Structure 1
């Protein structure tokens, strides 16, 4: 975790770059109010509160904005709401799922992840505008990675808060495609929408803010074309990402627990079905974890896997 400073951002915008278990947090402060865009994962929630407290230096947090409701972007909502009586704005398309706290629709159960229940006070939809950090932000729909996801764009500082729609080297897993729904076409449209705007700096959901937006878009278009050429690549990537995410949370997993995740978590189950018959899932897990071990993402044990000592 670091307070990203390599890219020159307006003084009213501060980025807390987090490890991959939590999304980045973007703190925007002006004379009228303070707001935090995305709140990280549940196991990092106390740290998120401490970071925000320190940065606000006695001011209250007035607003939480969630770009989307994957657990690594909204897992700190509940603790922040306990600390401050702040309004919370979520994507309008997720409103009923949060009101009913439908963990299946919210994907927490489907991905084997957790999120403490939180409330919301309002919603955001594409085309709306927000005043945050002294700037006017356009709300842009960003389906692809998540059907309900949003981005925020401010034309005056030419800053895009892209969530998981664009990273410096790619974008988030295209989850709808795992369950037979359209996602690749939507991701293409989102990249096109970014390309049509005058963006000088991107604040991604993961990784440091970056300025070479054209090069990042080229890499993203190339990766998307590669995934569309063979959708099994998206499924394989999804399983690897979700295995590493769970490992960052629990630090060690037995192969039996991984097999149980494939059986019981709907998103992992759907991804595994695209790659192999259920009888071959133990071998599939050995193959995937072996590849992750070679890349340094995890350490293989005889009976399971563990996180590397330096993993965050």
Structure 2
């Protein structure tokens, strides 16, 4: 894409792994987000190819969901890079507190990693020879960050803005505010002079106004009935499991969903469904959306 400057390379991935953004400048190199754990070897190979024999100086995360930081441990060990994470999450990572980190709650995996620095809204740093501002992007994740290069009009948005929406509004699933925060983040992005957005998933895009309009329509739809956000979360988390595993036996699905704390809680407290009913509903919803198929006694990814 012509608006992405030299030295900024988007490693576009599928939905199991987030995109990674490789930044190479005259005096430094950096990578934003590292994908999911099961793709870590692939991420390492892509980064090594992109670096062309140069070292990786710094690995940063927009937020600490497993599909954005699952390669942190391997990249740090293999490349010797420093790791910088959102400051608000630092105590949880330092203690590797699996009750407050999202990995256990969502039934996903992330190898334990260490970090060397923290990032907070208001910070400014040079990555790949360009200056980037660090901005708060709460909503999908309370401590998510944006990286904005004002000189080039490039916004690395993580899951705060995609071309057609944004990530699940997880805080609303645990009794915390999230809808208003998503709206405020969209307003913040609208006030930037962003000419190209690199999202956490999907291709980079230039129709920022159109993406914001679609995101606001989506937000209005979800916030009008919070159960819509809850249903969407269950579907997304089950789809993630399918992406990771390829297929799941239908007979095993109720017990699997019951073992995922967030899914079990949302199903019981918000949707009023025991896991057996929830699994039947989720299967039907994914099949109806064309995101899965039932083959005999197996739910498989499509």
TM-score, with length taken from structure 1 = 0.94
Residue in structure 1 matching 2:139, options 116, 138, 144 = 144
Question: 1:39-78 alignment to 2 at 5 Å?
Answer: 39-78=34-73
Residue in structure 2 matching 1:190, options 185, 197, 209 = 185
| 1:165 matched to 2:160 | yes
Question: 1:256-267 alignment to 2 at 5 Å?
Answer: 256-267=251-262
Which residue of structure 2 lines up, in the alignment, with residue 114 of structure 1?
109
- In 1, Cα distance between equivalents of 2:31 and 2:182: 25
In the TM superposition, structure 1's runs of 4+ consecutive aligned residues that sit over 6 Å from their partners are none
Residue in structure 2 matching 1:34, options 25, 29, 37 = 29
Which residue of structure 1 lines up, in the alignment, with residue 87 of structure 2?
92
Deviates more, 1:7-16 or 1:25-34: 7-16
- In 1, Cα distance between equivalents of 2:159 and 2:68: 10
| 1:243 matched to 2:238 | yes
Which residue of structure 1 lines up, in the alignment, with residue 118 of structure 2?
123
Which residue of structure 1 lines up, in the alignment, with residue 127 of structure 2?
132
**Partners of 2:235 and 2:285 within 8 A in 1:** no
Which residue of structure 1 lines up, in the alignment, with residue 217 of structure 2?
222
- In 2, Cα distance between equivalents of 1:93 and 1:269: 27
- Count of paired positions: 302
Give the superposed CA RMSD.
1.3
Which residue of structure 2 lines up, in the alignment, with residue 3 of structure 1?
none
- In 1, Cα distance between equivalents of 2:267 and 2:280: 13
Residue 300 of structure 1, CA deviation: 1.1
**Partners of 1:262 and 1:272 within 8 A in 2:** no
**Partners of 2:150 and 2:193 within 8 A in 1:** yes
Structure 2 portions without partners, runs of 5+: none
| 1:12 matched to 2:7 | yes
**Partners of 2:58 and 2:81 within 8 A in 1:** yes
> 1:206-238: per-residue Cα shift (whole Å, max 9, x none)?
000000000000000111011010000001100
Deviates more, 1:299-308 or 1:192-201: 299-308
Residue 184 of structure 1, CA deviation: 0.6
Give the match's secondary structure for 1:248.
Answer: helix
| 1:255 matched to 2:253 | no
- In 1, Cα distance between equivalents of 2:232 and 2:52: 41
- In 2, Cα distance between equivalents of 1:290 and 1:301: 13
- In 1, Cα distance between equivalents of 2:105 and 2:234: 12
Give the match's secondary structure for 1:181.
Answer: coil
| 1:306 matched to 2:285 | no
Residue 289 of structure 1, CA deviation: 1.3
In structure 2, the CA distance between the partners of 1:7 and 1:204, relative to structure 1 (3 Å rule), is farther
